[in-house]
Amino acid sequence: MTLGEAKKILNEFIPKYYYSDSVEPLVRDLLMYILDISKIEYLCLTSNYILTNDELLKFEDVIKQLKDEKPIQYILGEVDFLDFKFQVNENVLIPRPETEQLVLLAKKILDSDSYVPNTIVDIGTGSGCIAIAMKKLFPKSNVFGIDISKAAIDLAQNNAHKYELNVEFYQLDILKDDFNLFNYDVLISNPPYVLEYEKNEMNDNVTRWEPHLALFVPNDDPIIFYKKLITNFFENRMSKFAFFEINPLSYNLLVDFLNSYSLFSYSFFNDYKGEIRYLVIKK
C-alpha cells in the first residue's frame, strides 16, 4: 500500500465515524503515528511511498480501532492543549478547547488584577492539563492537582515530568476527603457536570470510551461538585479567586446557590460557541 492509498482510505473512512470540521489534520496525525515520523518528515514523503509490513499492520490496527469508534486522541495516545502535547488514555477525559479557554480566562483575569497566586489547586485534574498549564503560566506559584483516580494521577505526573514542571498531584475524593490542607488562594476546576439524561444525546465515541466518573452527575443533583467546591472556597480564609467550567444547563441552579452567599462577586462567561461555560468568583 502506498501513502497516497492510505490517505485516500482514511479520508473516506474518518467522516463515517467521526464528526470533524477538517479531516485532513486527523489523517496527517494518524499517518504520522503509523509511520512514527515527525511532521517535517511526513511532509517530505511523496504519495508513492510504500508502507512497510510493520507499518501496514499498524495501519490495519488503526482502522480496526476507528471502526470501534475509539477516540482518535486515545489511538494516538496524546492531545494538543495550548502549547503542550499531553499523554491521554481511557483513564482520563480528553481535554477540550473549552478547557483551554478556561485556563486563558483565568490568566487574563488574574493578570488584569495584577495578582500572582501563591497556591493554585486544580480539582478533577485528569491528565493534569489545567494544573500543568497554570504552572507554566505562573511559575512562581505552588500548584496542586487533585483527582479521585489513581490512574489519572499517575498519568498527570508523567505529563508534568515531561515538561519538567513541579506540580504535585494527590488522590482524593473531594466529596468525602478534606482538601483544606492546601491553603490555596486560587481554585480552578472542570469537574463532572454532564447530566445523566444527556448521555442519550452524546456520541458513542464519548460514552463508550471516556471515563463516566469524569463526565456525569446525577440528574437530581447536577451541581453536587460545585456546591462542595464553592462552600470550601468560602470557608477557606486564604482563597481569593475561583474559576470553573460549567454546564450551561446548570446556570440557574448555580445562580440560586451563589446567591445564598454574600460579600463576594461572581460572573459568568461564554465559551467560543457563545454558550455560558465559565463561572468566576472573586472574594
Tens of pLDDT, residue by residue over 261-274, are 776 899 999 999 99
pLDDT digits (tens, 9 = 90+) for 225-245: 999 999 999 999 999 999 999
Mean pLDDT of 106-122: 98
Mean pLDDT of 88-104: 97
How many alpha carbons fall within 13 Å on the CB side of residue 86?
28
Q: Which of 268, 258, 192, 199 minimizes the C-alpha distance to 231? A: 258
Percent of the chain with pLDDT over 90: 80
CB 167 within 8 A of CB 144: yes
Residue 268 burial (CB count, 10 A)? 16
Q: Which region, left, alpha or beta, applies to residue 183 given φ > 0 means left and ψ of -120 to 50 means alpha? A: left
Tell whether the model's pLDDT for residue 260 goes beyond 90: no
